[in-house]
Amino acid sequence: MQVSVLTGVQHIRLAERPVPTPAHDEVLVQVTAVGVCGSDAHYYREGRIGDYVVDGPLVLGHEAAGVIVAVGTEVSDTRIGQRVSIEPQRPDPTSAQSRAGRYNLCPAMEFFATPPIDGALAEYVLIQSTFAHDVPDDISDEAAALFEPLSVGIASAQKARISAGSSVLIAGAGPVGLVTAQVARAFGATEVIVTDIDASRRGNAEKFGATRVIDPAAEDVRAVTVDAFIDASGAARAVIDGIHAVRPAGTVVLVGMGGSDYPLPISVIQNRELLLTGVFRYANTWPIARELVASGMVDLDAMVTARFGLDGVEDALNADRQPGSIKAVVIPGLSKETNA
């Protein structure tokens, strides 16, 4: 099979590898679509994300969908031919965090495209059968691949305690901010305010769930009053301004990956008794993602702005620098001549 391999900073090459054989609890998935995440671009451009350092060849890509073509000995062969969305995690089921239902926090987690675990930019991948979630025929391969970033939005909205009538401020109108805005509306939020310094991104937010957009360079974000603030930007100024916008007993959720340390307005957090928490991936979100997309409450297909084959992965990783880009998708089998 063909595999796209990161072999060094800003260096990708196609390689041939044997098609893997599923273990007893695994399925072999023929990959049909892989979304390109900001983390993939970070590994490509910088060779690391925080403490995660690429120190050898690595296959990127963790937003994936495909078709099951083979199964392990403990998996029913009725699953062969099933279209699936891949939840790209392999936790230790015996860890304390996994037993508590927080398997995303398992210290022994093996996660796609996180060094040294290979990801999904390949023609075939293996995944434990329980993390290969079936999808109905009316959900596209591309949307099924994007259940992964959608799951980040679901986890964020859950942590923010969004329910009917809630108001929420979201900083950052990239892919995660856009799916989070859609989830917030689906969860019943009646006021969804999205901030971004980029005008085109603010325009995207208006198309994907925002009831109001703000240019933080031109308006005072602290003048807003909301029940919850979700940061999907990673920008220190956005986080601090967002905290100031939350009413007493509200919630602050940090999702964006920015600086590892910056000062927070502690007196505001204390005096308003704000709940401040983070989001690290997700757990038990795929069934919710499937229902949100199937019902039409979340539109993932409209977020796809470019498509590439395995021979165009470097272009896909740089697509976020193109005007109007929201989400690039890699489709194994698509050639450079037919990249769209």
* Per-residue confidence (pLDDT) for residue 336, from 0 to 100: 64
Q: Where are the domains of the chain?
A: 2-146+300-338, 152-278
Q: Which amino acid is at 71?
A: V
3-state SS, residue 147? helix
Query: What's CA 252's distance to the chain center, in Å?
Result: 19
CA–CA dist 279, 276 (Å, integer):
11
* Per-residue confidence (pLDDT) for residue 259, from 0 to 100: 75
CA–CA dist 244, 108 (Å, integer):
37
* Per-residue confidence (pLDDT) for residue 261, from 0 to 100: 86
* Per-residue confidence (pLDDT) for residue 340, from 0 to 100: 56
Backbone angles phi, psi at 323, to 5 degrees: -60, 135
CB 309, CB 335: distance < 8 Å = yes
* Per-residue confidence (pLDDT) for residue 337, from 0 to 100: 53
Q: Which residue has the tokens 């989070």?
A: 180
CB 235, CB 177: distance < 8 Å = no
pTM: 0.96
277, 178, 313, 143: CA torsion to nearest 10:
110
* Per-residue confidence (pLDDT) for residue 257, from 0 to 100: 83
CB 212, CB 189: distance < 8 Å = no
CA–CA dist 139, 160 (Å, integer):
27
CA–CA dist 39, 37 (Å, integer):
5
* Per-residue confidence (pLDDT) for residue 338, from 0 to 100: 55
Per-residue pLDDT of the chain (340 residues; tens, 9 = 90+): 999 999 999 999 999 999 999 999 999 999 999 999 999 999 999 999 888 999 999 999 999 999 999 999 999 999 999 999 999 999 999 999 999 999 999 999 999 999 999 999 999 999 999 999 999 999 999 999 999 999 999 999 999 999 999 999 999 999 999 999 999 999 999 999 999 999 999 999 999 999 999 999 999 999 999 999 999 999 999 999 999 999 999 999 999 987 778 899 999 999 999 999 999 999 999 999 999 999 999 999 999 999 999 999 999 999 999 999 999 999 998 876 555 5
Query: In which element (H, E) is residue 290 found?
Result: helix 286-294
Q: Which amino acid is at 232?
A: A
Both tokens of 141, joined, read 């391969």
* Per-residue confidence (pLDDT) for residue 254, from 0 to 100: 97
- Give the pairing of strands 89-90 and 110-111: antiparallel
* Residues 6+ away with beta carbon under 8 Å from 177: 170, 171, 194, 196, 205, 232, 233
CA–CA dist 313, 9 (Å, integer):
14
Closest CA to 119 of 4, 242, 17, 213: 4
DSSP β-bridge partners for residue 126:
28
* Per-residue confidence (pLDDT) for residue 279, from 0 to 100: 97
Superfamily of domain 2-146+300-338: Medium-chain alcohol dehydrogenases, catalytic domain (3.90.180.10)
CA–CA dist 248, 274 (Å, integer):
6
* Per-residue confidence (pLDDT) for residue 333, from 0 to 100: 81
The class level of CATH for 152-278 reads: alpha beta
Backbone angles phi, psi at 334, to 5 degrees: -75, 130
Backbone angles phi, psi at 257, to 5 degrees: -100, 110
* Residue spans of beta strands (DSSP E) within 196-331: 212-214, 226-231, 246-254, 275-278, 304-308, 327-330
